[in-house]
Structure 1
Amino acid sequence: MHDIEPHFGWRERYRAEDDQLSPFFGRQYNEFGFNNRVYNYLIHPQWDEFGAETLYLKILYLDYEEQYAIIELIGEWNDAVHNDSMHLKREVIDPLISEGIRRFILIMEGVLNFHGGDTDYYEEWVEEVRYDGGWIALLNTHQHVVDELEDTRLEGYLHFGSFLNDLTWRPQKPHRVYEAIEGLLQKEIRRIY
């Protein structure tokens, strides 16, 4: 896992460590020191830790004008034991919401497992963004992770499933990814209602 890097295709457009409004502003990376782990596997030092034991992320892009964030995740999302949703919400999402971000695209390809727990932080997150047209979309989620998300009954808070899977996002520009997800969500909402 140490050679799996966060997506670098948009680095010339956005770097969280250079953004004064980002929760990772000023962070410095040691390209040669591998300290963070998922299970017994070292991960690339470009992934940001935020208090969760086995879940790491990288803010790939923030657009304050359009109010969206694209965040890539790697590891195990464990609410049952580690309350990862609390760490994510308090350390990353709350600061972004305070800066006006209302739409969140979470890239889930690197999330190997999900263990559900309470839904309190998801409910709070949705309540804080919903009335401003906000949403949370999980992109390219593994089927066994989808199953656990459904078992935890998170479909009322998060958008995920086959309509958001198998999307080729890496060669696209960030605003194209955002527009595509926005369109898919509108189509899915019309289909449901």
Structure 2
Amino acid sequence: MHDLEPHYNWRHLYVASEDDRSPMYGHFNSEVYYTDSIYDFVIHPQWDNIGSETLFIKVLFAEYDEGYAIIELLGEWNDVLTNDIMTLKHEVLDLMMDQGIDKFILIAENVLNFHADSTDYYDEWLEEIPDGWIVFLNAREHILKELADYGIDQYFLFGGQMNDISWRTKSPRKLFDQIKKLAERRLEV
């Protein structure tokens, strides 16, 4: 896992640690010192620690005028033991919503496990973005099953075409436009 880096091809467009509106503003990532781990697995130092023992993120892009953010996830999303949704909501999402972000693209291909618990924070998140949406992009099948088994799938748009998008080859704007079209179609139904 120490070789798995967050996507870096958009760094010339956006760096969260340099964005004074970002929750990651001023955050320093070492290029050489590996300080974080998930269980006994050291992870690449470019992932941002949000205070969870098992879930790390990278805000890849934020566009405040359009109100969207693209966030890459790594690890285990564990609401049972570490209440990761609470940590993510309070440490990252609330701060982004305060800046006008109401459309979230969560790149979930590196979420290895998902353990659900209460839906309180999901309810709160969705209520706070009445004109927005949350997309789980490229999630693994067992993650989608867990979301559905616990009824958390009602908070996210995922699966189908959203589970097979080659996002790395697109600019953030083109990815957002593609996701927005899919999201709007699904929400119209």
Tell me the TM-score normalized by structure 2: 0.98
Q: CA deviation at 1:187?
A: 2.1
Please point out which of 178, 181, 184 is paired with 1:183.
181
Which sections of structure 2, spanning at least 5 residues, go unmatched? none
Q: Deviations over 1:15-69 (max 9, x none)?
A: 0000001111111121111111112110000000101111000000000000000
State how far apart, in whole Å, the 1-side matches of 2:30 and 2:161 are: 38
Other structure's SS at 1:129 match:
coil
Q: CA deviation at 1:189?
A: 3.0
Other structure's SS at 1:156 match:
helix
Residue identity opposite 1:73 in structure 2: L
State how far apart, in whole Å, the 2-side matches of 1:161 and 1:171 are: 20
Other structure's SS at 1:109 match:
coil
Q: Give 1:20-31 correspondences, 5 Å limit.
A: 20-31=20-31
Q: CA deviation at 1:188?
A: 2.3
What residue is the counterpart of 2:91 in the other structure?
91
Count of matched residue positions in the alignment of Structure 1 and Structure 2: 189
Pair 1:67-2:74 in alignment: no
Which sections of structure 1, spanning at least 5 residues, go unmatched? none
State how far apart, in whole Å, the 2-side matches of 1:90 and 1:25 are: 15
State how far apart, in whole Å, the 2-side matches of 1:52 and 1:159 are: 24
Question: Which region of structure 1 is more displaced relative to structure 2, 111-120 or 26-35?
Answer: 26-35
Q: CA deviation at 1:84?
A: 0.1
Other structure's SS at 2:170 match:
coil
Q: Percent identity?
A: 47
